[in-house]
Chain A
């Protein structure tokens, strides 16, 4: 591409590209977070630097980053597929706990299977459990004709307490720590890098991304989901069965979220322990929004968030900045993405500076 044609690339056209918008929102949120950091007495450069080292410094850290990103990819895809169908699934947190519990129990109590069968069976259990938990939200939504945000959030709390109860009483392992029995060795996910959180789960996550993208683009199921998400009235008139589709979308979404739980249980802990998720469900929401409800974008955003999370621990150690600061960055990012006028304004300021409009 010669220089002349590069110049011809009008800035406003660039502003239409969704990748650019996402990138911009991300950068903007980093900048604003940095300003907040500075106000709170921390050095943004130090903090971000520590974060970068923690996330990417060395193969071991990088492996951990990818490992942390794995459940995020699943919850992100869960929110994405739901959003495309017009459903705001804020219940990934609960769904992944239920899925995780299912995986833990299937892993611990089903004996005598080779890993190549045992692992997928645990996955299936997690997907089924998480999916059904989400379908429950769907049923209530349809019956009560209410917004799914409140419903799924209520189910989150119920799921957390329910699984905590199961881990504390019914399926409790012997010993002091409140957790379930260790899963069989045949259910443990092989690591892709020794002593890290990176397991073959990542491969399944990427597979899921391809699968979801394929569903949306090339199948009638995906067509129906998208139609319902874009214009439920026209979809209805076009013969698409609304309630059936809503429940199926919840099922798919919950299944993906359940997988996130399975990955954590089978790959990181090898048992179910209460509160193992540190907001993976909410991260899924953030990555999906940041990825503009596109499977590939969601995965990219998840990788970035994985990096942020991993780096946050290093940042905490080096600068004493609590890792929860990452939540602020996420909040800013999704707010910026959901406010097209902010992005447009900032981009036009840039364009004016460069003398192009």
Chain B
């Protein structure tokens, strides 16, 4: 690919590249949004994504079926999220330490299992990945064509999850109650809503959503697992959650913007910019965004474990 292409085609390429970048981060951010809305910060998003990525590869490896891999990935993510939920809600572990512990566990366990399954400490074998959906005849639509030509099923799942999450949070009764817990858990508690149970359930679901991000990274993109492949995307997702204002729509928008900006920057590689500097960019960008867009306040009770008086 070179400068011989038209501007429109270039935009299309950037858009599709941006979406590719956005998908894992968006899943992570949606998961974190749900979790923080119910009052639990999930610093362990990075670890959950890693677990999801690994589980997906394992599932696909043993069954040859990518969708079973997805299932395995979900289970792994849910398992890890349950640990975080149990620790923070039931045992009142500090939320940040619990999250960091979850990350370390995921990192350690996946590396150890990498060794025992494939006898390789760096990466796994290639496995059956998720096939993109190819739509014929759209190649010629300007800009969107590049995207629509080959859509990852994960993108569709992402959109569905985002819509369902939005609907659930703002239109349903359980969503209303969940949001109230994140703002002032004493209020729902004093009217008899079971705060711990709701929190645990929501964190587990948020773990599943986040795990999708990791699943995309492995079998949705490169069809293998490599050590530490999440590379900080879980933390970027946390930052994007803040920037998106803890709303599904805002978060999705912020992720898309982030992805496109990054996509544009990757073009810089064409101009012989050293690879390390390009690799730095997502993290630099996150910091710049945090610096210039002062974060608004999130759910008021997010980050603090909820105690009844006298507990």
A and B touch in the complex (CB under 8 A): yes
Residues of A at the B interface (CB closer than 8 Å) are 40-41, 88, 90, 140, 143-146, 149-151, 153-158, 161-162, 164-165, 168-169, 282, 285-286, 289, 320-322, 324-328, 330-332, 334-335, 338-342
B291 at the interface (CB under 8 A from A): yes
B87 at the interface (CB under 8 A from A): yes
Interchain CB contact under 8 A, A150 and B235 = yes
Q: Closest Cβ of chain B: how far from A175's Cβ, in Å?
A: 19
Q: Closest Cβ of chain B: how far from A245's Cβ, in Å?
A: 21
Interchain CB contact under 8 A, B284 and A158 = yes
List B81-118 residues whose CB lies under 8 Å from chain A: 87, 91-94, 96-98, 100-105, 107-109, 111-116
Considering residues B98, B101, B231, B279, which has the most beta carbons from chain A within 10 angstroms of its beta carbon?
B101
Interchain CB contact under 8 A, B111 and A335 = no
Chain A residues whose C-beta falls within 8 Å of the C-beta of B274 in the assembled complex:
165, 168-169
Chain B residues whose C-beta falls within 8 Å of the C-beta of A157 in the assembled complex:
231-232, 280, 283
What residue in chain A is nearest B242 (Cβ atoms)? A146
Interchain CB contact under 8 A, B276 and A328 = no
Contact for B98 among A156, A168, A330, A338, CB less than 8 A: A338
Complex: A207 Cα to B279 Cα, angstroms: 38
Chain B residues whose C-beta falls within 8 Å of the C-beta of A158 in the assembled complex:
280, 283-284, 287
Interface SS of A by simple majority: helix
List B262-299 residues whose CB lies under 8 Å from chain A: 274, 276-277, 279-280, 283-284, 286-287, 290-291, 293-295
Complex: A145 Cα to B236 Cα, angstroms: 17
With A328-B105, A338-B98 known as contacts, the answer to whether A154 contacts B93 (CB < 8 A) is no
With A162-B280, A327-B107 known as contacts, the answer to whether A143 contacts B93 (CB < 8 A) is no
Interface string of B153-175 (1 = CB under 8 A from A): 00000000000000000000000
Contact for B287 among A140, A289, A335, CB less than 8 A: A140
What residue in chain B is nearest A334 (Cβ atoms)? B101
Chain A residues whose C-beta falls within 8 Å of the C-beta of B102 in the assembled complex:
331
What residue in chain A is nearest B86 (Cβ atoms)? A339
Complex: A328 Cα to B114 Cα, angstroms: 14
Contact for B276 among A168, A322, A330, A332, CB less than 8 A: A168
B19 at the interface (CB under 8 A from A): no
Q: Closest Cβ of chain B: how far from A167's Cβ, in Å?
A: 9
Chain A residues whose C-beta falls within 8 Å of the C-beta of B98 in the assembled complex:
335, 338
Chain A residues whose C-beta falls within 8 Å of the C-beta of B107 in the assembled complex:
324, 327
Complex: A212 Cα to B98 Cα, angstroms: 27
B43 at the interface (CB under 8 A from A): yes
Interchain CB contact under 8 A, A88 and B283 = no
Chain A residues whose C-beta falls within 8 Å of the C-beta of B232 in the assembled complex:
153-154, 156-157
What residue in chain A is nearest B94 (Cβ atoms)? A338
Count the A-B residue pairs with Cβ separation under 8 angstroms: how many? 126
Considering residues A154, A157, A330, which has the most beta carbons from chain B within 10 angstroms of its beta carbon?
A154
Chain A residues whose C-beta falls within 8 Å of the C-beta of B277 in the assembled complex:
161, 165
Chain A residues whose C-beta falls within 8 Å of the C-beta of B97 in the assembled complex:
289, 334-335, 338
Chain A residues whose C-beta falls within 8 Å of the C-beta of B115 in the assembled complex:
320, 322
B255 at the interface (CB under 8 A from A): no
What residue in chain A is nearest B303 (Cβ atoms)? A147
Complex: A153 Cα to B277 Cα, angstroms: 17
B238 at the interface (CB under 8 A from A): yes
State the 9 A-B residue pairs at the shortest beta-carbon distance, nearest first. A327-B108, A331-B104, A328-B108, A165-B276, A324-B111, A338-B97, A335-B101, A339-B93, A331-B105
A-B contact pairs, 16 of them (CB 8 A): A140-B291, A143-B291, A144-B295, A154-B283, A154-B286, A154-B287, A155-B287, A161-B276, A169-B274, A322-B121, A324-B112, A327-B108, A328-B112, A332-B105, A335-B98, A339-B91
B239 at the interface (CB under 8 A from A): yes
Chain B residues whose C-beta falls within 8 Å of the C-beta of A153 in the assembled complex:
232, 235
What residue in chain A is nearest B104 (Cβ atoms)? A331
Complex: A282 Cα to B277 Cα, angstroms: 24
Interchain CB contact under 8 A, A324 and B108 = yes
Considering residues B43, B102, B116, B283, which has the most beta carbons from chain A within 10 angstroms of its beta carbon?
B283
Chain A residues whose C-beta falls within 8 Å of the C-beta of B111 in the assembled complex:
322, 324, 327
Chain B residues whose C-beta falls within 8 Å of the C-beta of A143 in the assembled complex:
291, 294
Q: Closest Cβ of chain A: how far from B293's Cβ, in Å?
A: 8
Interchain CB contact under 8 A, A164 and B96 = no
Contact for A140 among B96, B276, B290, CB less than 8 A: B290
Chain B residues whose C-beta falls within 8 Å of the C-beta of A140 in the assembled complex:
287, 290-291
Q: Closest Cβ of chain B: how far from A105's Cβ, in Å?
A: 17
Q: Closest Cβ of chain A: how far from B115's Cβ, in Å?
A: 4
Q: Closest Cβ of chain A: how far from B89's Cβ, in Å?
A: 12
Complex: A282 Cα to B97 Cα, angstroms: 12
Interchain CB contact under 8 A, B105 and A334 = no
Complex: A8 Cα to B109 Cα, angstroms: 43
Chain B residues whose C-beta falls within 8 Å of the C-beta of A145 in the assembled complex:
294-295
Complex: A154 Cα to B291 Cα, angstroms: 12
